[in-house]
Chains A and B, each alone.
Chain A
């Protein structure tokens, strides 16, 4: 027999197909594969490690309930080691080699943008479950973290009512801080206040002495500080050390997200005003059950923070989407989620907003007291109005951008 090119291709293709058949059949009945990329080590591990614990807990609970569609769920997780370059690498691997059904994860906005296009091109559903600056408009992505408007809209008027109309803003100098500062200014203006100063700080600035003196020269009624990371924690220390915490009230959109309020002493932290979707101190049956399950799995519940719970909710949202769709295929799951899909969990009811693929969720106004968050007021079901202003996936399903929201 002569083996020409055409015949070789035909037979080898047939052989490959035959070999692939059993694995494909196996894929349908084997476990459902949930990919995850999280910074479990490195400088962001304080965020990533509890997120990883939360997703393992969520998946264990799903499997204990008999899995999804009668199949087990298995986590294919990679530790991105707080290195943005590894995100792209592991995302490629998840879609090419591991062929997962969904990807959950990403912590910093930079990491999300590093993998979002890869996952979109590979038609792999993606859940990003972290508080962020808002504006992502992509039908392949679901985001359940709090956006600036959801926080600022309620935090600003409350904090101003506790202090006064003249507000000074100190923000981290990257996209999150810049955009959040703009939202804060908008809501300060909307509530009849005045922004008397805005300063931005790179993430490695740790000396705020001159800033604290500058703030005093304009003597505002309130300081709002969306500062990020370990170096910026110094601000809260130095603010208290100069006795300013007795004089000018402080509010923040980030302080406490990674349990930073447990690092500050009670004297340094007391009185700081925040607004989050979750706090360990929420006394609801769902949250108490969640904390019990966490304690049973890991012992110590002190690591639980807002982002970990968001991530847990992200996994549960996806699981509910799969149940409703009756399949793990991407488009049916997206459509099921877009049908105002709603679940209840430790952070209350969370509903997918079909127009933006963001979440409508509860926001709680809280004040730090003795390293805990004391609940002041709960506001239920806040829609992501910032992203809604720019993003309409119902009208433009092919949209694929992160809008910088003009205010």
Chain B
């Protein structure tokens, strides 16, 4: 009984962390069709922002939930103005540009933070479930992730900005004809997507030893999740993260973490073979 609770928490945590690291990419790639290969580095930037802020004496929750998204969001804003706005609609070019950006960012991290492992300690103590100890931080990640998905639905569905953004992504000419500047909308959406990546990086920082090249570990999983999720933003994110997180953890627990990762990739291949355009091209159509 205790064990099943522990495993349930681990599965939920895996799903939550996949959703969290993919949320920013879902906005930038899923909505805006910008193949942002620097997504992993955006997350690492969020991680460094958190660690630096904590080092300066800021409360760790403020550092990862507020400072990290703001820093990365502003960085995304600058990069969008300088690079990506010239490349909308040219998918392959955005890929090349963002790859270059990711290399530059890795170099920058090395120069500023040094080519070593840094980190902060998790702020939440472990607790016990019967005879088992559970990482208390896992529950925090689950809560953050759920709140994030709820907030994304609320913004996209409940606010005027969400409506305009969705409309602009579908038909920017029509949005422009209705008096909304697509340039503005793209800029804001990209910055928000970057901020989500920053949030993910900040929240993951206490769990990993952060190195300048850590982004590579996140990027593949994030792309797989977003692509397998398909065209519907939040439902796609949740369903793909749910599928892969469950498969990954069940196999990790039964065999080993390596087999868990293999199972995740096999599941992705099978899924995309059966539903090439992603889960939400068949289920949850027309939702958000």
The answer to whether B14 touches A209, judged by C-beta atoms less than 8 angstroms apart, is yes
Return A374 CB to nearest CB of chain B, in Å: 20
CB of B257 closer than 8 Å to a CB of A:
yes
CB of A20 closer than 8 Å to a CB of B:
no
Given A230-B214, A233-B209: A263 and B119 interface contact (C-beta under 8 Å): yes
The answer to whether B135 touches A209, judged by C-beta atoms less than 8 angstroms apart, is yes
Given A41-B115, A217-B3, A233-B119: A199 and B256 interface contact (C-beta under 8 Å): yes
The answer to whether A234 touches B258, judged by C-beta atoms less than 8 angstroms apart, is no
The answer to whether B115 touches A216, judged by C-beta atoms less than 8 angstroms apart, is no
| Closest residue on chain A to residue B212 by CB atoms | A43
CB of B213 closer than 8 Å to a CB of A:
yes
Return B148 CB to nearest CB of chain A, in Å: 19
The answer to whether A237 touches B217, judged by C-beta atoms less than 8 angstroms apart, is no
The answer to whether B126 touches A268, judged by C-beta atoms less than 8 angstroms apart, is no
Binding-face segment, B5-13, B26-34, B97-105, B154-162: B5-13
- Within 8 Å by CB of A42, from B115, B126, B128, lies B115
The answer to whether A247 touches B133, judged by C-beta atoms less than 8 angstroms apart, is yes
Docked complex: B121-135 residues within 8 A CB-CB of A: 121-122, 124-128, 131-135
Point out the residues of chain B lying under 8 angstroms from A213, CB to CB: 3, 6-7, 10, 132, 253
Docked complex: B255-285 residues within 8 A CB-CB of A: 256-258, 260-261
A259–B67 alpha-carbon span in the complex (Å): 29
| Closest residue on chain B to residue A210 by CB atoms | B252
* Most A Cβ at <10 Å: residue of B126, B214, B249, B252: B126
The answer to whether A216 touches B133, judged by C-beta atoms less than 8 angstroms apart, is yes
- Within 8 Å by CB of A233, from B14, B117, B136, B258, lies B117
Q: Mark A255-275, 1 if CB is under 8 A from B, else 0.
A: 000001001110110000000
Q: Mark A87-118, 1 if CB is under 8 A from B, else 0.
A: 00000000000000000000000000000000
The answer to whether B207 touches A231, judged by C-beta atoms less than 8 angstroms apart, is no
Point out the residues of chain B lying under 8 angstroms from A214, CB to CB: 253
Point out the residues of chain B lying under 8 angstroms from A268, CB to CB: 121
Return B123 CB to nearest CB of chain A, in Å: 9
Given A173-B258, A204-B217: A209 and B13 interface contact (C-beta under 8 Å): yes
CB of A189 closer than 8 Å to a CB of B:
no
Docked complex: A185-243 residues within 8 A CB-CB of B: 199-202, 204-214, 216-217, 219, 230-234, 237-238, 240-243
A199–B258 alpha-carbon span in the complex (Å): 10
Point out the residues of chain A lying under 8 angstroms from B121, CB to CB: 237, 240-241, 265, 267-268
Additional A-B contacts beyond A242-B135, A265-B121 (20; CB < 8 A): A43-B213, A173-B258, A201-B258, A206-B217, A207-B17, A209-B10, A209-B14, A209-B135, A210-B260, A211-B256, A213-B132, A216-B132, A219-B131, A230-B117, A238-B135, A241-B122, A242-B134, A243-B127, A263-B118, A267-B121
Q: List 14 A-B contacts (CB under 8 A).
A: A41-B115, A42-B115, A43-B213, A206-B214, A210-B257, A234-B207, A237-B121, A237-B208, A237-B209, A240-B121, A241-B122, A241-B137, A243-B125, A267-B121
